[in-house]
A and B are shown apart, each in its own frame.
Chain A
Amino acid sequence: MAYTPHTDPDRAAMLAAIGVADVDALFEDIPAAVRAAGWEMPAPLTEQELRAELSRLAGRNRIPDVTFLGYGAYRHLVPSVVGEVIGRAEFSTAYTPYQPEVSQGTLQSIYEFQSLICELTGMEVATASHYDGATATAEAALMACRLTRRDVVAVSTAAHPEVRRVLATYCSGPGIEVVEVPAELAAGASGQTDPSRVAELLGDQVACFVAQQPNAFGVLEPMRELGEAAHAVGAQFVAVVEPTSLAVLESPAGYDADIVAAEGQPLGIPIAFGGPWVGLMAASMSAVRQMPGRLVGATRDGAGRRGYVLTLQAREQHIRRERAASNICTNQALCALAATAYLTAVGPEGLREVAELGATQARHAAAALRSAGLAERRFSGPYLAEVAMTLPDAGRRHASLTERGIVAGALLERDYPELADTILLAATELTTDHDIARLVGALGDVA
């Protein structure tokens, strides 16, 4: 299948205009020594052949009938209107709005996105998006290093392992040391990060302390106290949050976070084997000139009409090159548009319902497993919509359930060896009573 429109007479006309005999003449500047000798590539496919091949691959994935797997990626209802908005070619086939007069649709939607993220987080300024929550967190940490002129980053081990892995990679670049503050994981412990441990471990070279709310085990952290411990040594407090939870949980501004980073996937973006998703970042205006990534601002044209432009670009790589705040260029604009449409579609009441339904069904699942005598909550700390449970012989039973089309959450042992026989169950508004009954029944069957 070819997507080029040219007929052979078209090509002949262009070659004649150029004054060359054939198209090979246009490649003669490639040194003969390094010209490609050939390649082993498959033959072209027609649309029906291509559909068959992609259907074959999609069909090889087995989508579970029932799943409690979250752990950083959450299955939510994506309202039909969201797909409709991002499916519009005027949005999806435009690029970075370098010409604002013909890009007002993209620019205004990003301004609205920034505004919505500010509302969710309570912060003063939000960027136009990042690759994902993990890279947004890493960029937030580097930003804190620039703001404080310090070169140590501290992070709770209860921040998601994927976030910590990416943070470590990014910090390895400029040689920033990463210090981990161990969370309370012993049997019967809270599952939280203890603010007094933070106070002990943080020195005056620490640029920021990174904590996640809810944390990787679904447990709610004492964010205000953790922030105070960071601030006590002059460090910035970086809060990693889950956006739908902000309908019911205190906003990061409410506990004095300095920089907020988040994975925006739960806001109307399919899990899609890990992406594309969207990273969110917000901060205070006093820090805006050290923020990485694009920002859209409102302004006026000569006739006084309101319009939007990319602004404060002196931070960015295409202007500042080696002195830029980050190398980020292309980000995740269409996913940010999905989040904008999602938050608009559900509104404040809908987002609260999403958060509360997830919280209710997580409790429902935990209570059902407990009363069936199958599993107990692993941690004493409070939780929202994801709950860690101790399940004897978890590995074998998890595998048995997978064969029955049920994913019994995440096994935490791979990332946390001390959390053997611990499953992490996530609930959302899509989790039904029937799902919980099937989980409990199946776990009982493989006891």
Chain B
Amino acid sequence: MSIVDERHPAAAGDPSGRGSAFASPSAGAELTIVEPTIFERSRAGRRGVRFPQPSAAARAAADDEPGLPEAARRRVAPRLPEVSELELLRHFNRLSHLNIAIETAFYPLGSCTMKYNPKVNEWAARLPGFTDSHPLDPEVLAQGSLELQWLLAALLREISGFAAVSLQPAAGAHGELTGMLMTRAFHRSNGEGGQRTKVLVPDSSHGTNPATATMVGYTTVTIPSNERGGIDLGALRTALGPDTAALMITNPSTLGIFEDQIDQVVAAVRDAGAIAYMDGANLNAILGRFLPGAAGFDVMHFNLHKTFSTPHGGGGPGAGQVGVSARLEPFLPRPLPVLRRGDAAEVLRNAWNGRATDGATFGLDWDRPRSIGKVRSMFGNFGMHLRAYAYIRANGGDGLRGVSNDAVLAANYLRVRLADAFDLPFDRICKHEVVFSGRRQKRQNGVTTLDMAKGILDRGIHPPTIYFPLIVDEALMIEPTETESLETLDRFVEIMHDVARQAAEDPASLRAAPTTTPVGRLDEAGAARRPDLRHRFGVAPVPGGTPAD
């Protein structure tokens, strides 16, 4: 298998790389437009889906009821596109060809865990028993949805070592918000709400961590990393005090390194009376090896779309469940799925053997007076819950351990294979990802990491995450995941060596990359200076128009 053959369909010899499939129907625009917007494809009077007409009886009965008041009626109709179903499909199918995705090419985007998203999970998510289940249906009608949520929460507790789990948060950052709101509720319940105002974050943290702390009214204190890439324990101890609300720490860190003093970190935080928050974005590295709840953390968010294979969807939906220690459990968002009748151990045993338990009933517990309340309507991204449940059940405990083993193995393999071509700021065993620096290429060849990323695009795969974490100069953050074969990893090594060679031998060509993608480098500064954020009717589609029609 060759990775470069997986690029999206661009005709050979076409310097635009767009391929004949992307020729615009409008000859004059062909040079400048890859695929017109759906509005440009619209023709007045064309129809896609049609709906039935109301019956005469319905109309007659409705006429007995008051109509819409004139003042409430819309005066100007929305200009939605008017296309046939086939034109719709062509439009979106052609757009889809402009994407790289996991199923088209290697996608080693660090911190994002771009693993295979199993198809059986998609099958399950489309079962009418799930898609047509109304969240406000009487509980007696929704026993399947409720049981699934209860079972998933049980599995996530076991995987994380926490006392309780909420499925409500809709994304990782949303889980962080939930965790910080619980942190504050906890300190308030101890009469320390006014005094504990600071959240400590390592300098390698995700940007969502400090942004979340701000949303909860906390101020952020940045803790430096030590020379080995871990949190500086001395600096942490100095910063901890009676004003500390929490430490938010990603483990393994965004450098892909397990905090090898994590036991001391957690102990220091708890000794200071603060909450130990673990950002669980990198859980894919440590399944079955490290249980954050058992290790003393108070709260962690899971990213179901990372560790548990729910599709990333081009930027969501995600899901950011939170696990908590016993002392935070009263503050969890409400409601929680509960077993109303039945023996929990028996229900679990039966479910693990594919059986229902006679007489077991499930419900939602709203009676949680110390809860922080709701963070999302209804009960979270249920469709993601069921995919994650399917993934965990498919793997089982042994499979999940194998997931982390193979993810860590692949990352360390790339660490060793690429160490000759790129600087490795922290040369030690890594976990699920490895962070290189492009500083050598920048210094010696005048080629930036951005240039190299664009060169990688010309080789038909997605580049690693770049310029993150912020503490690594010209960072290249590579996360291969466990689902890529050794041949793919080896081909990636070849590509990276090839890019390094190009940087050394022909830096100018790298600075001009990419040349084989549907568009070349885009003017991002211009996009921000003259925002063009929506289609403008009756105006040629050129950036720089006035903001409103």
Classify the interface of chain B: helix, strand, loop or mixed.
Answer: loop
- CB contact list, A186-241 vs B, under 8 A: 220, 222, 224
In whole angstroms, how far apart are the Cα atoms of A133 and B170 in the complex? 12
In whole angstroms, how far apart are the Cα atoms of A367 and B66 in the complex? 10
In whole angstroms, how far apart are the Cα atoms of A42 and B351 in the complex? 9
In whole angstroms, how far apart are the Cα atoms of A3 and B384 in the complex? 18
CB of A88 within 8 A of CB of B92, answer: yes
CB of A55 within 8 A of CB of B141, answer: no
CB of A132 within 8 A of CB of B534, answer: no
Q: Enumerate chain B residues within 8 angstroms of A64, measured Cβ to Cβ.
A: 137, 141
Known: A125-B533, A169-B372. A105 touches B413 (CB 8 A): no
CB of A75 within 8 A of CB of B132, answer: yes
Q: Enumerate chain B residues within 8 angstroms of A118, measured Cβ to Cβ.
A: 534
In whole angstroms, how far apart are the Cα atoms of A361 and B57 in the complex? 10
A23 partner, pick from B172, B377, B408, beta carbons under 8 A: B408
CB of B541 within 8 A of CB of A3, answer: no
Name the residue of chain B whose CB is nearest to the CB of A74. Answer: B134
In the assembled complex, B54 has its CB within 8 A of some CB on chain A: yes
Known: A126-B534, A275-B382. A36 touches B486 (CB 8 A): no
In whole angstroms, how far apart are the Cα atoms of A327 and B174 in the complex? 8
CB of B141 within 8 A of CB of A62, answer: yes
Name the residue of chain B whose CB is nearest to the CB of A94. Answer: B101
List the one stretch of B109-117, B237-245, B438-446, B499-507 in contact with chain A.
B109-117
CB of A341 within 8 A of CB of B54, answer: no
In the assembled complex, B13 has its CB within 8 A of some CB on chain A: no
Q: Enumerate chain B residues within 8 angstroms of A126, measured Cβ to Cβ.
A: 533-534
CB of B314 within 8 A of CB of A333, answer: yes
In the assembled complex, B202 has its CB within 8 A of some CB on chain A: no
A39 partner, pick from B38, B397, B531, beta carbons under 8 A: B397
In whole angstroms, how far apart are the Cα atoms of A19 and B72 in the complex? 73
Name the residue of chain B whose CB is nearest to the CB of A285. Answer: B547
Q: Enumerate chain B residues within 8 angstroms of A47, measured Cβ to Cβ.
A: 120, 394
- Total B residues in contact with A, Cβ cutoff 8 Å: 222
List the one stretch of B258-266, B268-276, B322-330 in contact with chain A.
B258-266
In whole angstroms, how far apart are the Cα atoms of A402 and B74 in the complex? 37
CB of B78 within 8 A of CB of A34, answer: no
CB of B215 within 8 A of CB of A326, answer: yes
In the assembled complex, B211 has its CB within 8 A of some CB on chain A: yes
Q: Enumerate chain B residues within 8 angstroms of A15, measured Cβ to Cβ.
A: 409
- Total A residues in contact with B, Cβ cutoff 8 Å: 216
CB of A348 within 8 A of CB of B51, answer: no
CB of A105 within 8 A of CB of B98, answer: yes
In whole angstroms, how far apart are the Cα atoms of A289 and B128 in the complex? 42
In the assembled complex, A441 has its CB within 8 A of some CB on chain B: no
Q: Enumerate chain A residues within 8 angstroms of B399, measured Cβ to Cβ.
A: 1-2, 44
Q: Enumerate chain A residues within 8 angstroms of B288, measured Cβ to Cβ.
A: 36, 39
A246 partner, pick from B78, B102, B104, B184, beta carbons under 8 A: B78
Known: A34-B294, A275-B380. A61 touches B62 (CB 8 A): no
CB of A344 within 8 A of CB of B83, answer: yes
In the assembled complex, B189 has its CB within 8 A of some CB on chain A: no
Name the residue of chain A whose CB is nearest to the CB of B413. Answer: A14
In whole angstroms, how far apart are the Cα atoms of A33 and B100 in the complex? 43
Q: Enumerate chain B residues within 8 angstroms of A85, measured Cβ to Cβ.
A: 88-89, 92
In the assembled complex, A288 has its CB within 8 A of some CB on chain B: yes
CB of A62 within 8 A of CB of B354, answer: no
- CB contact list, B498-537 vs A, under 8 A: 514, 517-524, 526-528, 531-535
A271 partner, pick from B50, B109, B135, beta carbons under 8 A: B135
Q: Enumerate chain A residues within 8 angstroms of B55, measured Cβ to Cβ.
A: 433
CB of A41 within 8 A of CB of B397, answer: yes
Q: Enumerate chain B residues within 8 angstroms of A110, measured Cβ to Cβ.
A: 314-315
B380 partner, pick from A37, A44, A274, A352, beta carbons under 8 A: A274
In whole angstroms, how far apart are the Cα atoms of A294 and B527 in the complex? 14
Q: Enumerate chain A residues within 8 angstroms of B547, measured Cβ to Cβ.
A: 124-125, 285
A18-B409, A45-B394, A407-B134 known, 7 other contacts, Cβ within 8 Å = A43-B397, A106-B315, A169-B333, A272-B382, A312-B528, A322-B220, A347-B83
Chain A to chain B contacts (Cβ below 8 Å), 10 pairs: A63-B129, A131-B170, A142-B215, A224-B71, A249-B68, A273-B378, A275-B379, A308-B522, A344-B83, A367-B65
